[in-house]
Amino acid sequence: MAGIYAVFALGLNVHWGYTGLFNIGIAGFFALGAYTAALLTSPAADPLLFEEFVFAGDWAQLGILDLGIDLWFVLALAAAGAACGVVALLIGYVTLRLNDDYLAIATLGIAESVRLFFLNEKWVANGSKGLYQIPQFLEGWLPSDKYNYLYMVVVIVVLAVLFALVQRVMKSPWGRVLRAIREDEVATAASGKNVFSFKLQAFVLGAVIMGVGGALFAHHIRFVSPLTFDPLLGTFIIWAMLMVGGSGNNLGAILGAFVVWGLWVGARFLPGELADPNFRFFMVGVLIVAVILLRPGGILGELRRVTRGRAGRSAVRLDDG
């Protein structure tokens, strides 16, 4: 689970940590990825639903072809990523030209719209009841009680691949431009870079990663419903992970995911009031604020490759690791 969240933290790191894009609708991409994967790999839940697919036009054609056929898992991940990428492309195209704050509101809007869509359009995904019995990757190789170990390996492999990818990309000249945009958009534009296009690419890349995360999630839990993707577990906690681990640092993002998820799960075993999920909810918020106030760089902070400081305090970060 922490591994899956680490994937999201990585995706968010591409948005916020590297490019400074403020996405508060992670849950939307989360849900979209999960649903895409679930729909592509699930057998039709019941004949009635199948009928509806037939009448629903082009989109459903895809459904008919794939329904009941155990699609190759990797393809599902790719499709989930692609779906998120397309949505990100559309929404980014509209909002990335504008003020940063608009993006935040727009992503919030996407998250809400995606949720409402899956909640209300029962023909797509069974409405509020959700999809269940989503098949798992390599199901049957191992007895079900051991299966989680196998899946853990799968998640770690995917995470490692994505980590290597993001790491590589961010070291490339392309990644340097992104960081430059985060530091000073105007100067970057002045040096002849098409800021909008770079931001859009980064937004899409991050969204694709989130989509993959969503797909991994769907195959792990084997159940998706609109209620799964509430803002807390779908968005807030991922922010906490990135902030704690250190935005702008991929290792930090992954570390943050494990630390925060560990705290989250571990808190269940605390005595009395402290185990209350509402209290944990509260603490997620406090944690984010505390990190911003006290340790803007997170645990790891960003390894500075460019020796240029930002105005103000942010230069403090890499003091003592």
Partner 1 sequence: MAAREVTQGWIPAFAGMTRGFGKGLPKGEGVGRGLRALRAAVQRLRATWSPGYAVAAAVAALFVLGFLPFVKMGLVVNGFVLGAIIATGAIGLTLIYGNLNFANIAHGDYMAMGAYVAFFVVTDLLAAVGIQGQGFGPFTFGYPLLIALPLAAAAVALGAVVLDVVVYRRLRNRQVNAVVMAMASLGLAIAVRGLIQIIWTGEKLQLPRESRQVYHLPMDIRIPPDSIFIAGLAVVLVVGVYVLLTRTKIGKAMRATADNPDLARVTGIPTERVIWATWAIGGGLAAIAGVLLAVFQAQLLPSMGWEFLIPLFAAVILGGIGNPYGALVGALVIGVSMEVSTQWITPSYKHAVAFIIMIVLLLARPRGLLGRSN
Partner 2 sequence: MALLEARDIVAGYGETQILHGVSLVVNEGEIVTIIGPNGCGKSTFMKSVVGLVQVRTGSVTFRGADITAYPPERVVRTGLCYVPQSANVFPSLSIRENLEMGAFIRGDDGRARIDEMFGLFPDLARRPTARAGSLSGGQRQMLALARALMLDPVLLLLDEPSAGLSPAIMGLVFERIRDINATGVALLLVEQQAREALRLSDRGYVLSGGENRLEDRGPALLDNPEVARLYLGG
Residue choice 71, 232, 251, 259 for contact with partner 1 (CB under 8 A): 232
Tokens of 7: 């994937």
Pick the closer one to partner 1 by CB: 83 or 287.
287
Could you write out the DSSP letters of every residue in 251-295? HHHHHHHHHHHHHHHHGGGSSGGGG-HHHHHHHHHHHHHHHHHH-
Provide the Cα torsion 261, 26, 22, 1; round to 10°.
20
Cβ partners under 8 Å of residue 84, min gap 6? 29, 32, 33, 36, 207, 208, 210, 211, 214
Pick the closer one to partner 1 by CB: 135 or 296.
296
| Minimum separation from the CB atom of position 229 to partner 1 (A) | 13
Question: Total residues at the site for partner 1 (CB under 8 A)?
Answer: 49
| Chosen from partner 2, partner 1, none, partner binding at 286 (C-beta under 5 to 8 Å by type) | partner 1
Region of 55-63, 156-164, 194-202, 305-313 interacting with partner 2 (CB under 8 A): 305-313
Quick note: the x/- pattern for partner 1 over 45-64, rule CB under 8 A, is --------------------
Smallest CA-to-CA distance from 19 within 252, 199, 247 is with: 199
Residue choice 315, 316, 318, 321 for contact with partner 2 (CB under 8 A): 315
Q: Is 100 in the site for partner 1 (CB under 8 A)?
A: yes
Tokens of 246: 């250190």
Tokens of 63: 């459904």
User: Rounded to the nearest 10 degrees, what angle do helices 195-221 and 2-12 cross at?
Assistant: 170
- For partner 1, the binding residues (CB under 8 A) are 20, 22, 24, 91, 94-95, 97-102, 104-106, 108-109, 112-113, 116-117, 119-120, 230-232, 236, 239, 243, 276, 278-289, 292-293, 296, 311-314
Write out the residues near partner 2 by the rule CB under 8 A.
308-312, 315
